[in-house]
A = this chain, B = another copy of it.
Amino acid sequence: MNNRHTTISFLSDYGLQDEFVGVVHAVIAEIAPHVRVLDINHNVPPYDVRAGAMSLTRAVQYLPTGIVLAVVDPGVGTSRRAVAIEVGGGRGYFVGPDNGLLSGAVAMAGGADRAVELTNAEHHLLAHGATFAGRDIFAPVAAHLANGVPLTEFGPLVDPVLLTPGLIPLPQESANGTQCEITWVDHYGNCQLNIGLDDVRTWGSPIKVTIGETVRMCPVVDNFESIGTGGLALVVDSYGMLALATQRGSAAIEIGIGVGDAVSLERA
């Protein structure tokens, strides 16, 4: 057992209203009592694989070496594959459904070395039903991996090339600027775009922002207090991306915008 891991980082869409997250912690504690579970985020919107993938991709660079358990799994109980993916020559593993949830984070971690399909029921819990794979399949596998069980014990190898890719919306160049999309509305109502500061660095500030019928001149700033009361700005957020933000308010609510909305940026 020379490949033990001490941390399982855990993301899901289970919410915190029920005992789902607690039960997964309990299953891990039973199988691998030495492990610390680090909760990344359990309020991914229900069934929203893309939102989960983006949250995980933002977080992964900060996670301790070890195992990542991620479950946003609308296809639970169907033929969608359950997988474990090895990265960094065995320094890390991602465990979850093969539906695109893991792909962005796996790429950030250097790409998949090997992957297996989790078909060996010996390492699962006996289940009363098929709807809680987090408890019955993914958590036990993550815990056994943390105990040093070799990857190939969990099922047959899958060619990493065949894993489901994630869908990340890319910004589109247009005649006058760039057509972007809101990819994330955070707790404060800041609306992250799929474009970074680097892409508009030569444009100067302000930038002309068009959202549906709304047209605003938005300064590019690096903190919220610089926005000014009543203003709307493009803040360089903590990932280097541009986010629509107001000062001490919710841009999402004030402008009436949300994830998936188109945002056009043009030189002023």
Please report A residues at the B interface, Cβ cutoff 8 Å: 6-7, 9, 11, 14-23, 25-27, 29-30, 33, 36, 38-43, 46-47, 55-56, 58-59, 62-64, 74-78, 127-132, 135-136, 184, 186-188, 197, 222-226, 235-240, 248
Contacts and interface: CB of A to CB of B under 8 A. Distances in A.
Contact of A78 (B62, B188, B225): B225
Contacts of A47: 188, 248
Given A18-B186, A26-B64, 4 more contacts: A15-B187, A16-B42, A18-B184, A19-B41
A131 B77 contact: no
Contacts of A16: 16, 41-43
Contacts of A236: 128-131
Contact of A223 (B25, B56, B78): B78
A152 B160 CA distance: 49
A9 B26 contact: yes
Sorted nearest first, the 9 A-B pairs with minimum C-beta distance are A77-B223, A132-B238, A128-B240, A15-B187, A22-B40, A19-B41, A129-B236, A26-B62, A19-B59
Interface centre among A20, A42, A239 (most CB of B within 10 A): A20
Nearest to A197: B129
Contacts of A27: 62
A161 to B, nearest CB: 25
Contact of A19 (B23, B55, B224): B55
A188 to B, nearest CB: 5
A55 B25 CA distance: 15
A36 to B, nearest CB: 7
Contacts of A38: 22, 25-26, 29
A222 B36 contact: no
B46 A187 contact: yes
A14 B222 CA distance: 19
A22 B59 contact: yes
A33 B6 CA distance: 10
Contacts of A11: 19, 22
B75 A135 contact: no
A258 to B, nearest CB: 14
A135 B239 CA distance: 11
Contacts of A62: 23, 26-27, 30, 135
A125 to B, nearest CB: 8
A186 B17 contact: yes
A158 B186 CA distance: 34
A92 B189 CA distance: 34
